[in-house]
Structure 1
Amino acid sequence: MPHPVIVRPIRRSDLAAWTPLWDGYNAFYGRSGPTALPEEITRTTWERFFDEGEPVHALVAESGGALLGLAHYLFHRNTTAIGLNCYLQDLFTAEAARGRGVGKALIEAVYAQARQAGSPRVYWHTHHTNATAMRLYDQVAEHSGFVVYRKLF
């Protein structure tokens, strides 16, 4: 019988197990090899999780002592609400753990953190080709209909 999936805040001792998940997430979005994130970004992101002054947070899903997934989220102000909004920036489940409810558990845990912080909403983006994830997202949230534009510098 498989061990239950537990979602918890990340710990400093998770670095070695978190790194392959982070790398897998970035590879999924084409940020590997020559287009990989600079190591400085990974180090800075990691440190932000443990800085009380930062609005960036991390949860991990664990089962039987192994990390199966991650969720990174942040709180920010918004011009249309008094409370802080919660942006689920990164969500990733290890390939071997997919289909076990890990992604849903991580999203639900972010929802709980947002409610605890008094946030009126949680939102996120995904690429339109990410059909597998969108099947889950359609079960746990509503598609806002918004299209994202960006300009990189």
Structure 2
Amino acid sequence: MEVRQATPDDVPYLALLFNSYRVFYGKPPDIGAAAQFLNDRLVRHESEIFVAVEGDTIAGFMQLYPLFSSTRMKRLWLLNDLFVSEEYRGQGFSKALIERAKELCRQTGACGFTLETGKDNVIGNQLYQQVGMRLSEGYNAYGWWG
């Protein structure tokens, strides 16, 4: 297994995984729009996308967006997307991707990264604790989706 930064050449297969990720979260499938979205992020340098590769196959991906922490006065990353293809789950791909997120934080001088997941995401919640992440119980998360 190798974890590396995604390139525009990865977009055709990455779009299939990204589409599956979106469908998992209840969104309608749209591979063309998924490919365009990912390509735009890569070409415009608006996010960091990493892929977990086994042989010639992209088994999973992770996308992080840059934020800043005013109180820490440092960069902070938002791990917005993490997905491993069903046939590669339970083999350490997610853990390897998260370790790469930690490395990105060290490389960019960031204070860390944050993510949100559903309370019903049992596997994800177990994974995040296994890799040393802490649940922020003292905060309420709010959103406005106009």
Q: Same fold (TM over 0.5)?
A: yes
In structure 2, what residue type is equivalent to 1:125?
E
Percent identity over the alignment is 27
Match for 2:90 among 88, 99, 107?
99
Contact 1:17 1:67 in 2 (8 A): yes
CA-atom RMSD in angstroms: 1.8
- CA-CA distance at 1:125 after TM superposition: 0.5
What's the TM-score once normalised by structure 1's chain length? 0.87
* 1:12-70 residue CA offsets vs partner (Å, 9 max, x unmatched): 1111210111011101111125xx6992x751342222324x3x110000001100000
Residue number in structure 2 paired with 1:22: 18
- CA-CA distance at 1:80 after TM superposition: 1.0
- CA-CA distance at 1:138 after TM superposition: 1.0
How many matched pairs?
A: 144
Match for 1:117 among 83, 86, 108?
108
**1:150 is the counterpart of 2:143:** yes
Contact 1:31 1:37 in 2 (8 A): no
Equivalent position SS for 1:152? coil
Contact 2:69 2:75 in 1 (8 A): yes
- State how far apart, in whole Å, the 2-side matches of 1:38 and 1:152 are: 24
- State how far apart, in whole Å, the 1-side matches of 2:31 and 2:145 are: 15
In structure 2, what residue type is equivalent to 1:11?
T
Equivalent position SS for 1:81? coil
What's the TM-score once normalised by structure 2's chain length? 0.90
